[in-house]
Amino acid sequence: MDRRTRKRLATRQNISDVATRLFIERGFDNVTIDEIAEAADVGRMTVFNHFPRKEDMFFDRKGEGLAIFQQALATKEPATPPLKALYLMILRLASDDHPAIRFNADSLAFTNAIRNSDALMSSVRLMRDQFVTTVAEGIAKQLNMSEPDSDIHLGTHLLFATLSVAFVEAHKSFSQHQNSDAAKQRFVEIMTKGFSGVQSALAETDLA
């Protein structure tokens, strides 16, 4: 990247980091754009140039998250069903302590900030719907279908519902015991149980 691009990306990251810190410390709804701009040492319009909405600062890496799912589908072994490939990828991320699936004090503070804000909770639901739609369309494309059928929709929704429950329950475990390994184990247990349900529901297909 050229110097101008590096500077632009550094500014964007700084704004996001500062905003997220303020959101976690004071609550998402209690922080203004002007306060973010001042803390990040940039102008108000600079903030809006990088992030049209406050929520975009908090979830600035959602594009990377979606790309992980798309990459898992694109690189899976031909004999591996698509939903199973995604399930195995999720377990691998947890095993590797990937930032997206990590259970510690920082991730708990992040999830608490979401739970305490209606705006962020709404954004989470919207992002999940977007992920489900995009992944379902990707699976349909792999199967040379013009659009996802009911089985693809069902399986994708079940998988992401399982992921949501596992993520929340693992953080509950960490909140109670302050043990990252135990929280990760709880996450894997729920993912495994949930995916068994996905496989049962789609037993007569090649999706899971």
pLDDT of residue 109: 95
* Residue 34 pLDDT: 96
For the cut 90, the answer to whether the pLDDT of residue 165 exceeds it is yes
Q: Work out the average pLDDT over 9-33.
A: 95
pLDDT higher at 38 or 1: 38
Tell me if 93 sits within 8 A of 65, measured CB to CB: no
The pLDDT of residue 142 is 92
The whole-angstrom separation of Cα 165 and Cα 86 is 16
Fold of 3-58: Arc Repressor Mutant, subunit A (1.10.10)
Q: 56 in helix, strand or coil? A: helix
State the CB neighbour count (10 A cutoff) for residue 170: 28
One fold for 3-58 and 62-201: no
Q: Mean pLDDT for the chain? A: 95
Which of 110, 16, 109, 106 has the alpha carbon at shortest distance from 63? 16
d(CA 29, CA 121): 12
Q: How does pLDDT run across 66-76, given as a tens digit for each residue?
A: 999 999 999 99
The pLDDT value given to residue 160: 97
Please tell me the number of Cα atoms within 13 Å of 61 on its side-chain side: 8
Instruction: Tell me what percent of the residues of the chain surpass a pLDDT of 90.
Output: 95
Question: Domain residue spans in the chain?
Answer: 3-58, 62-201
Contacts within 8 Å (CB) and 24+ apart, 106-109? 107/171, 107/174, 108/171, 108/174, 108/175, 109/24
100-124 average pLDDT score: 94
Determine the average pLDDT of the residues in 155-173: 97
Mean pLDDT score, 38-60: 94
Where residue 207 falls among pLDDT bands split at 50, 70, 90?
very high
**pLDDT of 26 strictly over 90:** yes
Q: What is the pLDDT of residue 1?
A: 73
DSSP of 152-170:
HHHHHHHHHHHHHHHHHHH
Contact by Cβ (8 Å): 117, 111: no
CB 36 within 8 A of CB 18: yes
Superfamily (CATH H level) for 62-201: Tetracycline Repressor, domain 2 (1.10.357.10)
pLDDT at residue 69 in the model: 95
Confidence category of residue 32, pLDDT binned at 50, 70, 90: very high
Instruction: Give the three-state DSSP class for 111.
Output: helix
